[in-house]
Amino acid sequence: MSRPLILGACLSAGFVAMALLSLVWTPHDHTLLDIPGKLQTPGGTHLLGTDHLGRDILSMVMVGTRTSIAVALVALVIGLCLGVPLGLAAAARKGSWLDETIMRGNDIIFAFPLLVMAILITAVFGPSAVNAIIAFGLFNIPVFARVTRGAALPLWEREFILAARVAGKHAQRISVEHILPNVMNLLIVQSTIQFALGIQVEAALSFVGLGVQPPTPSLGRMLADAQTLVTLAPHLAVVPGVAIILIVLGLNLLGDGLRDALDPRLRRRLA
Amino acid sequence: MTLLKIDHLSVAIHGRPVLRDLSLQVAAGEVLALTGESGSGKSMTALATMQLLPPGAVTQGRIHLGTKELTRLSESALCALRGRDIGMVFQEPMTALNPVQTIGAQVAETIRLHTKTNATEARAQAAETLTRVGLPPDRFPPERYPHELSGGQRQRVVIAIAIALKPRLLIADEPTTALDVTTQAKILDLLVALAREDNMALILITHDLAVVAQLADHIAVMRRGKVVESAPTGQLLHRMQHPYTRMLFEASAHQVDLPRPPAPKPLLEARNLRRAYRLPRRRLFEKPGVFEAVRDVSFTLARGERLGLVGESGCGKSTLTRALLGLEPLQGGQITLEGAPLFQDAASSRLARRRMQVVFQDPFGSFNPRHTVGRLIAEPFHLLRTPPTGAKRDQAIAKALIDVDLTPADAQRYIHEFSGGQRQRIAIARALIIEPELIIFDEAVSALDVSVRAQILDLLAELCRRHTLTYLFISHDLTVVRSVTDRVLVMQAGRIVEEGATEEVFTNPQHSYTRTLLAAAPRLPALTATKGMSHEG
Amino acid sequence: MAMQRYILKRTGSLILSLLVASLVIFTVIEIVPGDPASFMLGINAQPETLAALRAELGLDASKVGRYFAWVGGMLTGDFGTSYTYRTPVTEMVADRIGVSIPLALYALVLSVLIALPAGLYAASRRGQAGDLGVLGATQMGVAIPNFWFAMMLVLVFAIHWRWFPAGGFPGWEQGFWACVQALTLPAIALALPQAAILTRVMRSALLEVLGEDFMRTARAKGLSARQTLWRHGLRNAMIPVLTIVGLQFSFLFAGTIIIEQVFYLPGLGRLIFQSISARDLIVVESVVMLIVFGVILINFLVDLAYAAVDPRLRNRT
């Protein structure tokens, strides 16, 4: 176990634990307004201070983390559930019309920058957390399709796959039995990356008003509220910003650490 | 006059010794062959001489080139030496050249680096050097990129880079291992001729003892980082002192004792097989070209017969193999097994696979690293209508493992715990487990060291005695094919050009291509003076 | 010959991508319920006025006809008329693009200028303190959201030290340097996370190349480790780096949409948000198409750059 891996795992687990904890307990009610007690600096009864409406920032960060994680996680699952089977199918029938269609479709989605896709979707269906999830989920599909196909293609040339074909197994069964387990490492690593990206995307979309809508707190929404007040009370921007950085940092370190730990070539070198 | 003198050289990489107390000498104009099995430290000796050892290497001992002691030289002095006094040729011509630079520029770089020539002069000299290695500018313009050349041509460019400044010492590390036999012969002749012309000392590193015996003035045999025996070629061939040297030469010339095949009765018949690939379009509205990998191939394989298929890379033998296994579609022709056509529909494909199995070349790539050996071997059970389960399944796995001289306990282990030779045994066990009528060996011993190869070939002969195997043995290695087959097919450019009883074809080849092939293959000399080395053939 | 064929093939796929993208955008916008004309005129509009406006906007044509009118218009530089402002979209876009494109380019140049030396430095000191320092810094850089970084930059460099304006854009007629000054903080905010990614790509591409056989050939020629890296390593490492630079431009281009919000820059981003809240869909449609066109065009140019760097691609069409 490398140090970055441990650090990343601890950070990620810490934030997930905090998000789960917010379901049953927060230091204060995050919806409770307290106008006289607004814009308190960190310390005292409100550990991280209060916002412009006097709400407890620590409680909001806990609940906001939960929202951000939920958005990123659902979009990740969409990407995995649709992208991986598409990638496996494309690799199994390399060069066929199926492969061509999947890859060209991917290229088209890729040509839409994530934010532009979100804008297009919100322009039509209106801004909401669900639409932010759909936009990022759509973005995740070609990412996973590409990663899966790219990793699966060289495997199809490997002799153990030929041996399985000689043993009379169908492409579908080979994909599930032999290909998927061998691309799993890569998918795990890519998942941590897309998860981290999801946290950032939620923050960005909510920041410009295309994501999570009030009154639901999210890290991005807290930053949007802080924007006009940043000169008066910098901690309003600093606290959620640092939370985002730490979650993303933790997930990225976890991903890098896992990649090194799971790579059999590296493992052999260490052994 | 000794040019290179290696004195008690020991090298350890991250504490793991790779060379132990190694001493060698080469004189100007002499060809020294450094031979041994993989992991013996041949390449490390070359890299130590170049002082290009991987990071983490600790060197003891001395390396003298003329009057200079290389282990004491500064890095800048070594840079001035490399390329000018020592040239080196590597194993993999496909990757040894910079893909984004023209070949002329890569040769000229050596020249400009060490001499005060201007660009035009360097280019002219580079063209001259390329002509010397057989790439004249009128046919191979120096403006070409490496990917526009074949493997043999690329190796010529690498040689041109190494000899551009007529170095005193040329090191060639397995220069022909990645090449075909006819190309190999030309490259080796070129290397030796260049060394003789320029009075260079040549260190030829190769695992191929036939090459060694044919070309070297002096032979050094290495094992586990040590030179076990070193002597002038004639002397070494006739009075081998070390048992390891003797074992190596015996294993290289190993002949197996095949039982006589039963009376011919056709099992597999291939009729007019044709496989063509579409080439990418050259122009937008032009009809795309077609590459015929297999053209009109027909042959019969009798039950109990051991059939060989030889040919150089690109001749279509891999495509043919894949087509026989139903892994590639055919554009024409028919494959029948005892008269029943194969790969017509799902049922006939299943039947074909049930009766045919395959052993591939790469002992590292042909197993899923995540499954136990037991599960790997049992994979073909999938083809049976009622696969054995429980104790019966375990028994079958155990029997297959015992058949290939492994133990039933090995079923619980994972593939990375086994050596290359053991992995090929496991691959054979997998092929045997459903008792197929026909096994295809696709370059099945090509990646193995000679001693291991000899053992696997013996195992094959033993299995033939026990089970009356029928097999198709595909290889580029003529010696091996000669040893384990009754009949042989010679393939060239998608066609079978010659077919006949193995001994007949090898001793009295009819087709000109077969003759070229046989002439190009280096041959081991008869090792008469050594005791216990009497082999027929 | 090979190069021409390559360009021709890439151009074909460029046109195909644009065609499909325009279809997708048009269809998505078509899904929107409601009639822009009645939206513009309010509930009490006269049916005759409504019909006249519909004819003027081209809304009375069939869907297929409208699609071709839209695409045809764009080809001749006519992006239609804004529903809310009643001015040609082309004019509105032309104003805004003068902010967004320079900003994205500025950020791209910064990112490349930071990343290439940093990646080269880290790769040449693999595993040493300098390498680990660069790697740690890039981990941070990747994790920082650009709009948050922008807020912090404003706080420190605009409000605390007053070195740069906190926001707004003077317009190019006010002089080049004033504009560069106004775009500097936004460009830094955009460039930093991208530079971090690019540094990592540069480093790993170089390390990959260092393990190649031809690098050993170069050493055997007598080149020093440094010369080998410069003469043979860099150009081969540029191939993956180029891919990422191409991808980054689209990230940066889209990223300007958010950064413009922080700095109150009158770019395409602000235009889009104004149009969304005004439900001025013809503007949204055209600006989105324009951005997608930019992205596809950049990828096309990257493909051409590939062929310039890697001769193997010219033959493998």
Per-residue pLDDT tens for A222-267?
Answer: 998 888 887 778 888 888 999 999 999 999 999 888 887 876 554 4
Quick one: average pLDDT of C129-139?
A: 91
Question: What pLDDT sits at residue A267?
Answer: 46
Q: Give the pLDDT confidence of B167-214 residue by residue, as tens digits.
A: 999 999 999 888 888 889 999 999 999 999 999 999 999 999 999 998
Q: Give the pLDDT confidence of B35-62 residue by residue, as tens digits.
A: 998 889 999 999 999 999 988 899 999 9
Higher pLDDT pick, B282 / B79: B79
Q: Hey, what amino acid is at C67?
A: Y
Nearest chain A residue (CA) to B324: A166
Higher pLDDT pick, A46 / B375: B375
Residues B10 and B24 in one domain: yes
Question: Taking the complete model, does pTM exceed 0.90, yes or no?
Answer: no
Question: What pLDDT sits at residue B397?
Answer: 93
Residues B325 and B212 in one domain: no
A156 CA to chain B: closest CA distance, Å? 11
Residue A191 within a domain:
yes
Residue B91 within a domain:
no
B467 CA to chain C: closest CA distance, Å? 46
Question: What pLDDT sits at residue C149?
Answer: 92
B283: contact with C, CB 8 A cutoff:
yes
Q: How confident is the model at residue B527 (pLDDT cuts 50, 70, 90)?
A: low
Q: Which of B371, B103, B162 is nearest to C221 (CA)?
A: B162
C235: contact with B, CB 8 A cutoff:
yes
Q: Give the pLDDT confidence of C40-75 residue by residue, as tens digits.
A: 666 677 788 878 877 777 777 778 888 888 888 888
Quick one: average pLDDT of C78-105?
A: 84
Question: What pLDDT sits at residue A266?
Answer: 46
Asked whether the beta carbons of residue C220 and residue B100 sit closer than 8 angstroms, the reply is: no
Chain B CB contacts of A264 below 8 Å: 369
Q: Give the pLDDT confidence of C205-225 residue by residue, as tens digits.
A: 998 898 889 999 999 999 998
Residue B440 within a domain:
yes
**What are the distances in angstroms from CA C165 to CA A237, C159, C168, C189?**
20, 8, 8, 14
The minimal CB distance from C213 to the residues B84, B96, B280 is found for: B96
Question: What pLDDT sits at residue C42?
Answer: 67
In angstroms, rounded to a whole number, what is the distance separating the alpha carbons of residues B301 and B496? 14
Residues B513 and B447 in one domain: yes
Q: How confident is the model at residue B299 (pLDDT cuts 50, 70, 90)?
A: very high
In angstroms, rounded to a whole number, what is the distance separating the alpha carbons of residues B404 and B66? 53
Quick one: average pLDDT of C187-192?
A: 93
Question: What pLDDT sits at residue B206?
Answer: 93
Question: What pLDDT sits at residue A1?
Answer: 63
Pair type for strands B266-278 and B226-232: unpaired
Residue B369's domain comprises: 266-520
B399: contact with A, CB 8 A cutoff:
no
Quick one: average pLDDT of B77-103?
A: 92
Chain A interface, mutation test: which of B362, B366, B368, B442, most A Cβ atoms within 10 Å? B368
Question: What pLDDT sits at residue C317?
Answer: 40
Q: How confident is the model at residue B256 (pLDDT cuts 50, 70, 90)?
A: confident
Domain ranges of chain C: 95-278
Higher pLDDT pick, B384 / C315: B384
**What are the distances in angstroms from CA A58 to CA A29, A43, A72?**
10, 11, 21
C273: contact with A, CB 8 A cutoff:
yes
A86-100, A109-123, B521-535, C182-196: which has the minimum mean pLDDT? B521-535
Cβ–Cβ < 8 Å for B442, B321: yes
Q: Which chains touch B (3 or more CB pairs under 8 A)?
A: A, C
Asked whether the beta carbons of residue B88 and residue C315 sit closer than 8 angstroms, the reply is: no
Question: What pLDDT sits at residue C35?
Answer: 67
Q: Give the pLDDT confidence of B404-429 residue by residue, as tens digits.
A: 999 999 999 988 888 888 999 999 99
Chain B and chain C share a number of CB contacts under 8 A equal to 82
Structural domain count, chain A? 1
Chain A CB contacts of B360 below 8 Å: 159, 162-163
Asked: is C95-278 a CATH 3.10.440.10 domain? The reply is no
Asked whether the beta carbons of residue B162 and residue C220 sit closer than 8 angstroms, the reply is: yes
Q: How confident is the model at residue B537 (pLDDT cuts 50, 70, 90)?
A: very low
Quick one: average pLDDT of B141-159?
A: 91
Question: What pLDDT sits at residue B320?
Answer: 92
What's chain A's length in residues?
A: 271
* Portion 34-53 of B in contact with C at CB < 8 A: 50, 52
A116: contact with C, CB 8 A cutoff:
yes
Question: What pLDDT sits at residue B532?
Answer: 39
Percent of chain C with pLDDT over 70: 94
Residue A244's domain comprises: 3-13+46-266
Cβ–Cβ < 8 Å for A211, A218: yes
Q: Is pLDDT above 60 for B283?
A: no
Chain B CB contacts of C221 below 8 Å: 82-83, 109-110, 113, 161
Residue A215 within a domain:
yes
Q: How confident is the model at residue B534 (pLDDT cuts 50, 70, 90)?
A: very low
Residue A202 within a domain:
yes
Q: How confident is the model at residue B26 (pLDDT cuts 50, 70, 90)?
A: very high
The minimal CB distance from C276 to the residues A112, A123, A227 is found for: A123
Question: What pLDDT sits at residue B61?
Answer: 94
Question: What pLDDT sits at residue B536?
Answer: 35
Asked whether the beta carbons of residue A165 and residue B370 sit closer than 8 angstroms, the reply is: no
Residue A180 within a domain:
yes
Among B221, B238, B255, the domain boundary falls at: B238
B356: contact with A, CB 8 A cutoff:
yes
Residue B337 within a domain:
yes
Chain B CB contacts of C213 below 8 Å: 90, 92, 95-96
B208 CA to chain A: closest CA distance, Å? 26
Residue A36 within a domain:
no
Q: Is pLDDT above 70 for B335?
A: yes
* Portion 219-238 of A in contact with C at CB < 8 A: 223, 226-227, 230-231, 234, 237-238
Q: How confident is the model at residue B162 (pLDDT cuts 50, 70, 90)?
A: very high
Average pLDDT for chain B:
89
Rg of chain A (C-alpha set): 22
Number of CB atoms found within 10 A of residue B290's CB: 11
B186: contact with A, CB 8 A cutoff:
no
Residues B66 and B210 in one domain: yes
Residue B508 within a domain:
yes
Nearest chain B residue (CA) to C212: B95
Residue A86 within a domain:
yes
Residue A72 within a domain:
yes
Mention every residue, 6+ apart, whose C-beta is less than 8 A from residue C175.
Answer: none
Asked whether the beta carbons of residue C288 and residue A248 sit closer than 8 angstroms, the reply is: no
Q: Is pLDDT above 90 for B511?
A: yes
Residues B289 and B224 in one domain: no
Residue A22 within a domain:
no
Chain A and chain C share a number of CB contacts under 8 A equal to 111
A166 CA to chain B: closest CA distance, Å? 6
The minimal CB distance from B82 to the residues C212, C214, C222 is found for: C222
Quick one: average pLDDT of C270-294?
A: 84
The minimal CB distance from B52 to the residues C213, C214, C216 is found for: C216
B317: contact with A, CB 8 A cutoff:
no
CATH number at residue A82: 1.10.3720.10
- Segments in chain A below pLDDT 50: 266-271
Q: Give the pLDDT confidence of C100-125 residue by residue, as tens digits.
A: 889 999 999 999 999 999 999 998 88
CATH number at residue B69: 3.40.50.300
Higher pLDDT pick, A64 / C313: A64
B16: contact with A, CB 8 A cutoff:
no
A255 CA to chain C: closest CA distance, Å? 11
- Spatial strand order of the sheet with B86-89 comes to B86-89, B169-173, B201-205, B31-35, B218-223, B226-232
Higher pLDDT pick, B495 / A211: B495
The minimal CB distance from B75 to the residues C5, C216, C224 is found for: C224
